[in-house]
């Protein structure tokens, strides 16, 4: 089991952010009798997943929707198809972000090459 400061170090995020995710219904740590948050390996893995989704600009509302679907899933009510659709839609957004990053990197490369032609004696970085 991990404390909030340990999980903060392991995920390289702030305790404030972790508490915020808990408040938003994205994390569910257990608590000791004195109220101290405790996280196990499953919660650590889940937090890392949430952080990845956030780093790719998935809105908190969509992550919460995924969590709610996951929690609502049972033998009588399977939500895996809805979760699949939600992740597929986000994957398309990530692919668009990647394409935009590639275009931006190409533009920067062209600019660098133009400046390098102006200053041929400077060490080339690309």
Q: Specify the long-range contacts of residues 30-34, CB closer than 8 Å, at least 24 apart.
A: 30/1
> pLDDT value at position 122?
72
pTM: 0.81
> pLDDT value at position 124?
61
- pLDDT tens figures, 14-41: 999 999 999 999 999 999 999 999 999 9
% pLDDT > 70, the chain: 97
Find all residues with CB under 8 Å of 53, minimum gap 6, and list them: 62, 63, 90
Tokens 């919660």 — which residue? 43
Alpha-carbon dihedral sign for residues 9, 12, 15, 19: negative
- pLDDT tens figures, 67-117: 999 999 887 889 999 999 999 999 999 999 999 999 999 999 999 999 999
Find all residues with CB under 8 Å of 69, minimum gap 6, and list them: 79, 82, 83, 86
């Amino acid at each position: 089991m991990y404390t909030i400061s340990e999980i903060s170090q392991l995920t390289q995020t702030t305790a404030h952010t972790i508490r915020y995710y808990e408040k938003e219904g994205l994390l569910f740590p257990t608590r000791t009798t004195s109220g101290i948050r405790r996280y196990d390996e499953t919660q650590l893995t889940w937090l890392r997943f949430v952080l990845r989704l956030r780093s790719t600009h998935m809105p908190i509302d969509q992550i919460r929707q995924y969590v709610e679907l996951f929690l609502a899933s049972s033998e009588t009510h399977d939500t895996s198809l809805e979760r699949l659709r939600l992740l597929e839609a986000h994957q398309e957004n990530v692919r668009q972000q990647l394409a935009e990053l590639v275009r931006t990197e190409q533009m920067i490369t062209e600019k660098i090459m133009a400046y390098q032609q102006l200053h041929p004696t400077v060490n080339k970085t690309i």
